[in-house]
Structure 1
Amino acid sequence: MLRWGFRQRAHEFRPALVQQPSQEEDVRDIAEMLRRTEISSINSAALESIEDGIDQLARAYPYANADYLRERTRNGLQYITKQLEGRVPLRRHRELLVDAGWLFLLNACVRYDRGQREAANLSKAAALRIGEEAGHGEIKAWAWETPAWSVTPLMPAARGWTDSPDPTRPPLTPLHHRPRPV
């Protein structure tokens, strides 16, 4: 069966006859394209392992060494970005983006606590961008909330317990006792 197709040359369109594949060839082509879209360089067990690792880091945040957390978030982000460069179906791609968003948020918290505002702001912006791209409202909300926890009056608390000099105000609590994204 023949149908009309068009070839574009410069500023003109010229009709050309194009050979239609048979229905059987069409079905095979569609099945092959579907198979290729499902090929993945990462399996569900690896995704689950990544998510478990992120949960462990988030739970360790109140007491873990900041250098340890910074290094682990960096390693996790490197691993995730390497996976995103491979063949990943859309659903898994989104899951990896969400995992990267949580790691960027954790990194932002660590950086804010250490007074590294530029790195913290960049990590926060990365999390916000990922939250928007992945359509993940919770990551977007945490990205906007995270800098609020590190405002100047709370910074002394990052070095230890500090009581407010004004008895009518509640005592400041250290930053590592604030709520964290989990």
Structure 2
Amino acid sequence: MHTAPTRLVVGITGATGAAYGLSLLRRARALGLQTHLVLTPAGVLNAHHELGLTREQLEAEADHAHAPGDVGACVASGSFATAAMVVAPCSMRTLAAIAHGLGDNLLTRAADVTLKERRRLILMVRETPFNLAHLRNMTAVTEMGGIIFPPLPAFYHHPSSIQAMVDDTVERVLQLAGIEHAAPQAWGGLRKS
């Protein structure tokens, strides 16, 4: 009996932190997941500025890349089964559109579909400090069943590099998404000296 691969929808927007989206795509591939990427124009600008990558280079990291304006793509329908959707990073504009159910592009439509189908939606929101609109939008998404996951590093593991912090955060996100074999570094308790 043939089983279809586990599908993960990945959104990358213009907030800082393109490294999270790139690492997420690479780790998902290593775990054998089928990835569906929606990369916004601002996400392209940011990935170029932060990582030196073009749209084509970033899209090559995914199994399938969908244009943000292609609202007829497979990920726009609840009948297209996916394990979860992660927006990494998630801008405040994207958060607001998801919180208010706008579905004005493929990324926000796919997020809306994820919520309506009661699948896991994880938003790696990137902004600081938060204003009241940001907080209210995060509350609205949480009340709808989404997970707000600002990518805050865990320093208690004594990471050796920025990439180590990014990778550990991505593992935590994949575990939250219910992906088998995700392996975040577990807290082992304080060491007695």
Q: Which has the higher contact order (CA 8 A, sep 6+)?
A: 2
Greater percentage in strand = 2
- Decide: shared fold, TM above 0.5: no
Structure 1-normalised TM-score? 0.28
Greater percentage in helix = 1
Structure 2-normalised TM-score? 0.27
